[in-house]
Amino acid sequence: MKSSRYLIIGGDDRLVELAKLFEGEGADIATYGMDMTVIKNVPNYLSFDEALENSDIVIGPIPFSKDVHKINSKYSSVDIEAEELFSKLGKDKKLILGAINNYSKGLAEKYGIEYWDYHNDEGYQILNTIPTAEGALSILINETKATLFGSRILILGYGRIGKLLSEYLKALGALVHIEARKDSDLSWITAERMKAIPLKELPHYLGEMDIIINTVPAMLLDSIMLDLVKQDALILDLASAPGGTDFDYASKKGIKAIHAQGLPGKVACKSAAEYIYGTIKKYLCADRQKGV
């Protein structure tokens, strides 16, 4: 990884740690859009044009964009427009980024820019559930007045996060209920000694729950469902924006509802960076083997 010149654009604490990993491996690494922090031995360009000119592989943050049009850049004193990157990048460079939105996909098509989205890598997604689940546990412990042990907890969805988080909660002695749609998932939930709830039966259980955790990127907890939830229950929504909860209605009902996004970058940025680094290395090695 020493022969190429790497440029990290924007990002949060995960990409700060990612830059340190590249530097530690002796890579030619620089940043742009990190003028509000200092990374030892890693220069930060103040000119976007100069940064792109002196790079071969450009790495963007996860999520790639904020406010749709702008690149996610926690440590930049100025906004970085996504279109500026795509219009200036050129086709001779590799672009690697995380969780691109439809607007930026359109820009890539408009300017003929190919990119690789590390967020779509299955291995990365599995590893990334670890800090997400641990971050969720931290929120649950800090935002409730009772122990998780003995609490009646409902998880909506049995994907990667639902599976791992349910195991953590079960180990802590919680009474775990899981909503799922597939018959095979319902069977696995039962086999794991947790309560399996088909979607159609969800209304019968909502009122019994102390904590409800949504992992499904669809509006499951609408006003009709929220009318069934106890007022002192806690809702933790882990789904990507806009989430699966009617937060305005929950607030009117006096139900505490938290939309927790970007937990890996907030609770375990170093580990999250290691996952990104390993995923990028795997992609670049596969590229070299193909002779790209």
pLDDT digits (tens, 9 = 90+) for 192-207: 999 999 999 999 999 9
**What pLDDT is recorded for position 49?**
97
Query: CA geometry: angle at 258 spanning 254 and 264, to 5°?
Result: 170
> Rounded to whole angstroms, how far apart are CA atoms 163 and 166?
5
DSSP secondary structure string for all residues of 31-63 = EES-TTS-BTTB-EES-HHHHHHT-SEEE--SS
Is residue 83 located within the same domain as residue 174? Answer: no
- What pTM does this model have? 0.89
Q: CATH number of the domain at 253, please.
A: 3.40.50.720
The tokens for 263 are 């937990």
> Model confidence over 195-247: pLDDT tens digits?
999 999 999 999 999 999 999 999 999 999 999 999 999 999 999 889 999 99
β-strand pairing of 65-66 with 70-71 = antiparallel
Mean pLDDT score, 91-105:
95
Is residue 116 located within the same domain as residue 129? Answer: no
> Model confidence over 54-73: pLDDT tens digits?
999 999 999 999 889 999 99
> Rounded to whole angstroms, how far apart are CA atoms 215 and 158?
8
pLDDT bucket at 290, cuts 50 / 70 / 90: confident
Total domains in the chain come to 2
Distance of CA 132 to the CA centre of its chain: 8
Is residue 177 located within the same domain as residue 199? Answer: yes
Is residue 284 located within the same domain as residue 221? Answer: no
The answer, yes or no, to whether residue 78 has pLDDT greater than 70, is: yes
Is residue 286 located within the same domain as residue 243? Answer: no
Is residue 220 located within the same domain as residue 277? Answer: no
Summary mean pLDDT of the chain: 95
The answer, yes or no, to whether residue 81 has pLDDT greater than 60, is: yes
The answer, yes or no, to whether residue 2 has pLDDT greater than 50, is: no
Nearest to 62 by CA among 287, 250, 234, 279: 279
Is residue 106 located within the same domain as residue 179? Answer: no
Is residue 109 located within the same domain as residue 158? Answer: no
pLDDT bucket at 1, cuts 50 / 70 / 90: very low
Residues in the chain: 292
The answer, yes or no, to whether residue 88 has pLDDT greater than 90, is: yes
Mean pLDDT score, 25-29:
96
Is residue 147 located within the same domain as residue 49? Answer: no
| Helix, strand, coil content of the chain in percent (nearest 5) | 45, 20, 35
The answer, yes or no, to whether residue 191 has pLDDT greater than 60, is: yes
β-strand pairing of 195-198 with 175-180 = parallel
Is residue 253 located within the same domain as residue 132? Answer: yes
Is residue 241 located within the same domain as residue 140? Answer: yes
Domain that holds residue 113: 5-120+270-290
**What pLDDT is recorded for position 291?**
62
> Rounded to whole angstroms, how far apart are CA atoms 88 and 187?
52
